[in-house]
Amino acid sequence: MKVIGIVGLPGSGKSEAAAVAEELDVPVVTMGDVIRRECEARGLDPTTHHGDVAQALREEGGPAAVADASLPVIEDALDGSEVVLVDGIRSDAEVERFEEAFGESFLLVNVHAPFEVRRERVGQRGRDATADEGGESLEERDRRELGFGMGEAIEAADLTIENTDTLESFHESVRDLLRGEAA
Ligand SMILES: Nc1ncnc2c1ncn2[C@@H]1O[C@H](COP(=O)(O)OP(=O)(O)OP(=O)(O)O)[C@@H](O)[C@H]1O
């Protein structure tokens, strides 16, 4: 059994890694979806209350509360698969919780691309409001995520996949990793 956690700064390629997992029928547990379900359980609209509920969970259950809420979902996914990918890790507290839960079976992977490359890709992605449109700039997003403990989570990674080449070559690197872990 292997639980692969993905970390990386905004726009580094985490969702692309998750998409490759789905293509290979590796279940993906998205921690953001766990928060969305918690919004629904509290009768709140996830489109407007996602951040508030994530914060409330952490206030009520400590800094690893979202990881705690994700554990049963990961356990379920492990029932039907040797490998499970976890997207949405934001802090070293969450990494520690997964290490406690899965021990040597937890592998933390950092997806890395330099700032300018990420900025260009996020600019082309189309789903992000730019700073001019009232959205957050990539500098601000980086700062916010680093504030949650993403820097420490990245430092704790067991390995780094560089995502500076083509999308196809990144997909190939992720496929190699997932196939290697499934073997
Ligand atoms: N190697 C690549 N070449 C070209 N485009 C890429 C490459 N890797 C990722 N992209 C594109 O860059 C954008 C950012 O990637 P992705 O959405 O996977 O990042 P992310 O880490 O999930 O970001 P966020 O934290 O903001 O959700 C996407 O539009 C993706 O398709």
Go through 70-108 and write b for each residue having 16 or more CB atoms within 10 A of its CB, e for each that does not.
bbebbeebbeeeebbbbbbbbbbbbbbbbbebbeebbbb
Query: What number is the average pLDDT over the span 56-72?
Result: 95
**149 in ligand 1 pocket by Cβ < 6 Å?**
no
The finding on whether 110 has its CB within 6 A of some atom of ligand 1 is: no
Q: Determine what percent of the chain is predicted with pLDDT higher than 90.
A: 86
Whether residue 11 is annotated as binding a ligand: the answer is yes
Is 2 annotated as ligand-binding?
no
Q: Is 137 annotated as a binding residue?
A: no
In this predicted structure, what is the pLDDT of residue 135? 78
Strand pairing of 83-87 and 159-162? unpaired
Task: Flag whether pLDDT at 19 surpasses 90.
Answer: yes
Mean pLDDT, the chain, integer: 94
Query: Pocket of ligand 1, candidates 16, 50, 137, 144: which has the most ligand atoms within 8 Å of its Cβ, to mutate?
Result: 16
pTM greater than 0.80 (yes/no): yes
Say whether pLDDT at 179 is over 80: yes
Domains annotated for the chain, with CATH where assigned, are: 2-182 (3.40.50.300)
pLDDT digit string (tens) for 74-104? 999 999 899 999 999 999 999 999 999 999 9
Stretch 157-175: mean pLDDT: 98
Atom of ligand 1 nearest to the CA of 127: 29
